[in-house]
Amino acid sequence: KAGVTQTPRYLIKTRGQQVTLSCSPISGHRSVSWYQQTPGQGLQFLFEYFSETQRNKGNFPGRFSGRQFSNSRSEMNVSTLELGDSALYLCASSLDGGRGSSNEQFFGPGTRLTVL
């Protein structure tokens, strides 16, 4: 079955713009998590969505938001882009994000966002 897909793979924006990234989870998966990866801060959890509801949230400003649709696809939006938002944004999906070996989380290849 197809893995987690993220679009676009690469994106260049300028400061002050906004951007929307998309994540399509593995078929049947209802939990989608987003992570930001930067050389300075490493991998940081942004938020997790389950059944169209944000269930967990990391420590990021309100400029970072997301949503999940009824087909479990998720989008994340960053408004008023700053240079420091340049990063690899990874999404991951699992059946329901909980515990248990059957709930393995699979990562997508990421979207590389460059802010100029």
Which residue reads 């050389």 in tokens?
A: 39
Near other proteins by CB under 8 A: residue from 19, 23, 110, 115? 110
Q: Among residues 77, 74, 27, which one has the least CA distance to residue 55?
A: 74
Within 10 Å of residue 103's Cβ, how many Cβ atoms?
13
Indicate whether 108 belongs to the interface with other proteins (CB under 8 A): yes
Site for other proteins in 16-75 (CB under 8 A): 31, 33, 35, 42-45, 48, 55-56, 58
**How many amino acids of this chain bind other proteins (CB under 8 A)?**
28
Near other proteins by CB under 8 A: residue from 90, 113, 114, 116? 90
Please report how close the Cβ of residue 2 comes to other proteins at its closest, in angstroms: 14
In the complex, the residues that contact other proteins under the rule CB under 8 A are 4, 31, 33, 35, 42-45, 48, 55-56, 58, 90, 92, 94, 97-101, 103-110
